[in-house]
Structure 1
């Protein structure tokens, strides 16, 4: 489990997860929102209505739509692989064994994939709006569940470490 490959994958996936997250949140998404007259990017909302999406599409400039289809969505497809791998490996590392809990980040990545596919198609047809909004909500819930699992596992490992230190002779 603590092989060099495992550690390398954990660190590399964590690095790319952090870099992509920062790039999207500080550079790409603000450009998208500026190009859509200040409307929040769809993935940053907890679901959305058809009216909101239509307003977003109407207000978004051609440059904004180009950023979405040529930068944001392709980068998000790579991001989903990175964070899915990172969260899964982190859970395994914290528990020091394979566990069913990795089903949450794996499912999160799959839902994000389908969300990205529906977002790409939504600019061509409004038939995808409702389904895409549902996927965005499910993705958000799964993301919070993954964060909660990781936080609880970190607390568990800290508690174990403290108990271990207390058991050592002075």
Structure 2
């Protein structure tokens, strides 16, 4: 099984599931990309080295490099999203830690929770929701459709086993 962007901490209650978005550009990849981009932006300047045109182009190339740096850093900050699901005999809690630092939480009795996967009709393919009480919450919307399908099966199995052992 390929590496999934989620991890179960245990098989015994309380079970914890941590989910996170893919990180396609690690820190060393970021540094390499910025250095290579800067070098590529400097190549056209070789033709105008020693002329006043150099000073006219330099601010634009510097601005382009800064915009790329800013966009990648912003993307990295937005990827700080995390979802933590705790599954115990008497409660199920989902806490979503958003990139800007605020948190959202949801709780329900696991006996009444339904795990639903909407193959179509949701904002993403294989949209995964937890429905308990009067609310339905999304889970792992940042995962790929295949990862959500795998998580759906795992979560159903763990919830079924938890409810079977509790009663």
Q: TM-score, normalised by structure 1?
A: 0.30
Q: Which structure's residues are more often helix, by fraction?
A: 1
Higher CA-based Rg = 2
Q: Which structure's residues are more often strand, by fraction?
A: 2
Q: Which has the higher contact order (CA 8 A, sep 6+)?
A: 1
Q: TM-score, normalised by structure 2?
A: 0.30
